[in-house]
Amino acid sequence: MKKVLMKGNEALAEGALIAGCRGFFGYPITPSSEIAEYMARKLPKIGGAFIQAESELAAINMIYGGSSTGTRVMTASSGPGISLKQEGISFISEAELPCLIVNVSRGGPGLGGIQPSQADYFQATRGGGHGDYRIIVLAPSSSQEMMDLAILAFELADKYRTPVMIMAEGTLGNLMEPVIVREAVTEFLDKPWATTGCVGRKPNVINTLHLSQEELEGRNRHLTEKYKMISKNEKRAESFLLDDAEIVVVAFGLLARIIKKSVMEARKKGVKAGLIRPVTLWPFPDEHIQAVSRTARTILSVEINMGQMVEDIRLAAGGKIPVEFYGRIGFTPNPEEITRQLLFIAEREGLL
C-alpha cells in the first residue's frame, strides 16, 4: 500500500479533494495556512476554484454562494478567523447549505498565541453565531483521520444539508505522519434544492429571512427535528481499555493519543485506567459517558483549555459519577504529566 508523508493540514486538504471539494475560499492564518496553500496549488489544476478572499467574512459568504450551486466547498481558518465567520455560519445553517469549515486551533481569547489549543470547544459546539442552530463537529486525532474525517464531513454535510466543522489542534495540522491516500469519492447525493439554473423548472430560492411568525417557528421546528436526527444517528467515539476501567479519561484530538500513552503507563503501575475519545464533539457521545458512569469510579476530562468539554461530560454523567478536570493552555500536556495525575487520583481514591 502506497503511503504519503503528510502534515495533518495537507492530509485534510487532500481528503477534501478526494471528497470532490471544488471550491476553497479562505484567508490564511497560522496554524491553518497549509490547507489554503495546498488547495491553491491543486484546485486550479482540476477545474476547481481557489480564492484568497479579502477577509474571513468574505470567505464565509463565498461559501454560502458556492454551496448554493450544489458544489462541495470549504473554508479553513483558526480561532480569530472562525470568530469572524460566525455570522456566516448562522446564515449557512439556516439556509441548510452543506459545507466544510475547518478550525486548526490556536490559543485565545483575543489574539492569544499560535500555540496548539482546544479552547474553541464552546464556540464550535454551542455555535458562536446567533439563533437556534447546531453544526456537526468532528475531532480527528491523526493525519490519517484528518483525511478520512474530511471525506466523512462532506458526506454528512450533504446528507443533512448542514455545515460540518473539523476542529484540530495546531500541532495536528503541522505534524507529519504517513497517510494512505483514499480512493476518490464517486457517488454524490442529488441536490434538487441547488441554484443551478432554472430552465424547465421553478426557480430555487435560498434565503434566511422569515418575517411571518408561523414561518419562523416552522423553520426552527424543522431545524430542531433535523438536529435531533443527527444526534440520534451520528455520535461517534473511540473506546480504549474501558472494560475494567476505574478511572476513565475523556480527551479528544491529538491530545487523546498522548493520553493513550498515559493510560498504558498508569496500567503498568497498577491503575485501571481507560480512555474515551469523542470523535464527534457535537453530537456529543453521551451514551459512552453514561456507560462508564455505571462501572467506573471517576472520570477525568483532560483538555487544552480551562474546562469546556467537561460540562458536556457532567451533563451526560447526570451526577452519577464524579467528573474532574485537568487542563493546560499554551502547552500540550506530555504523557508523564497525565500519568502522574492518574496515579494521584488512584492513590486518593484508594485504587492502588
Partner 1 sequence: MGKIAVFAGGLGSGKSELAINFALEEAKRAAGVVLADLDMVNPFFASREVGQVLERAGVKLFGPGGDLSFGDVPSIPAEIIALIQQENYLFIDLGGDEVGSLVMGYLSRFIKRWEEMEVFLVLNPYRPFSSELAGVSKVKQLIELAARVRITGIISNPNLVEETNLKTIIEGHRQVQEFADFLQLPVKFLCVEERFWDQLLPRYGSILKKLTLHLRPTWLQDT
Q: Give the three-state DSSP class for 148.
A: helix
User: Residue 346: CB partners within 8 Å, gap ≥ 6?
Assistant: 246, 247, 266, 270, 271, 273, 352
Q: How far is the CB of 342 from partner 1 (least distance, A)?
A: 15
Dihedral sign computed on CA atoms, order 90, 92, 97, 102: negative
User: Residue 168 — φ and ψ, nearest 5°?
Assistant: -140, 150
Tell me the Ramachandran region of residue 27: left when phi exceeds 0, alpha when psi lies from -120 to 50, beta otherwise. beta
Question: Does residue 31 interact with partner 1 by CB under 8 A?
Answer: yes
Q: How far is the CB of 241 from partner 1 (least distance, A)?
A: 13
Question: Does residue 235 interact with partner 1 by CB under 8 A?
Answer: no
x/- map, 245-274, partner 1, by CB under 8 A: ------------xx-xx-------------
Complex with partner 1: residue 95 or 114, whichever CB lies closer: 114
Kindly give the pairing relationship between strand 163-169 and strand 99-107.
Answer: parallel
Q: How far is the CB of 170 from partner 1 (least distance, A)?
A: 7
Where does this chain touch partner 1 (CB under 8 A) — which range of 66-74, 147-155, 169-177, 245-253? 169-177
Out of 5, 216, 229, 315, point to the residue binding partner 1 (CB under 8 A).
5
Question: Does residue 139 interact with partner 1 by CB under 8 A?
Answer: no
Is 68 in contact with 196 (CB distance < 8 Å)? no
Q: Residues 173 to 212: which contact partner 1 by CB under 8 A?
A: 174-178
Q: How far is the CB of 248 from partner 1 (least distance, A)?
A: 18
Among candidate residues 332, 346, 300, 341, the one with its CA nearest the CA of residue 174: 332
Contact residues toward partner 1 (CB under 8 A) are 3-7, 10, 14, 30-31, 34, 38, 41, 113-115, 170-171, 174-178, 257-258, 260-261, 334-335
